[in-house]
Amino acid sequence: MLNNEQKLNATKRALEYFSKANIVLTDEEKNRIEVADFGLSDLERFGLQLLIYCNTEKCCAKEMVLFPFQTCPEHRHPPINGKDGKEETFRCRFGKVFLYVEGDETLEIQGKIHAGKKNCFTVFHEIILLPGEQYTLLPNTKHWFQAAENGAVISEFSTKSVDEADIFTDSDIIR
């Protein structure tokens, strides 16, 4: 579990990345930045910083910051109450993003699998996103993503987000 000082430091760093990406936020939005460590207490390796602009029954818009080589762990968005899981589009705004999805395995991936968690990653079809590039994930698709050495800012556009319903490959994760 992260303490308040760690969350504050991560938020300040995230604001620096938003500035690098030329994303302007209101003071109210700056105060709503979330720091997610997925219950792993290892934010430098696993987690992300995010701002949710809107999340309605039909759509969701978010900004996400990943610090250098910070990873959002492998997960999927399953169907909920008879409705399809979340469909999402990631658009890179700053840096480089390594996105891994189901499909033909890339033999030499550029992302780093962090020590002690190799068994928590099962999909290795690599998609590299640079600023201005985007990729759409269909519902219930296993995926994980990581920033390259300079960190990254990603805009997410999706159907309704129900993060607490996400299914992670790593059983240690608490969302």
Domain count, the chain: 1
Domain hosting residue 160, numbered range = 4-168
174 lies in a domain? no
Which domain CATH number covers 98? 2.60.120.10
Q: What is the mean pLDDT of the chain?
A: 97
29-83 pLDDT, tens per residue?
A: 999 999 999 999 999 999 999 999 999 999 999 999 999 999 999 999 999 999 9
Whether 89 is covered by a domain: the verdict is: yes
In a domain, 173, yes or no: no
| Dist. CA 98–CA 28, nearest whole Å | 30
Count the alpha carbons within 13 Å of 55 in the hemisphere toward its beta carbon.
Answer: 11
Instruction: Look at the pTM and tell me if it is higher than 0.85.
Output: yes
Distance of CA 164 to the CA centre of its chain: 14
In a domain, residue 8? The reply is: yes
Q: What is the reported pLDDT for 175?
A: 73
